[in-house]
Amino acid sequence: MDETPGPGVDTGLVRYLKWLVTTLTVTMIVGLVVLITLVVMRFNAPATVAMPETITLPEGVSARAVTRGPDWIGVVTDDDRFLVYAPDGTTLRQSVAIATD
């Protein structure tokens, strides 16, 4: 294929446009590689949720669900209470009765 521009076309402009298209292509490829790398690194990072080894529940109570907040641990018990513990899992901060219908 002949790459000679037709009559009335500035060869400097064609060279400049080729340079722009090549630069844009390289930039898009590098950006795509960076995005893929960041996503892979993010998904391969281990989860860092610190939970205590044990949580001290009241006598005769068992847990139905456990959740973690920024500075508390919540436990839903089988006797319809929500217990709020300190992050160490031994200090009970609050006990809330759950109303059932």
Give the pTM: 0.53
- The predicted pLDDT at position 74 comes to 94
| DSSP code for 8 | T
Max CA pair span of the chain: 94
- Reported as a single tens digit per residue, the pLDDT across 32-81 is 999 999 999 988 877 777 788 888 898 999 999 999 988 899 999 999 99
Rounded to whole angstroms, the Cα distance separating 23 from 30 reads: 11
Query: Domain residues of the chain, as ranges?
Result: 1-45, 50-101
Q: 45 or 24, which is more confident?
A: 24
- The predicted pLDDT at position 8 comes to 74
Supply the mean pLDDT for the chain.
Answer: 89
Indicate the pairing of strand 92-97 with strand 73-77: unpaired
- The predicted pLDDT at position 38 comes to 94
- The predicted pLDDT at position 50 comes to 79
Residues 6+ apart with CB under 8 A from 96: 81, 82, 83, 84
Percentage of the chain beyond pLDDT 70 is 93
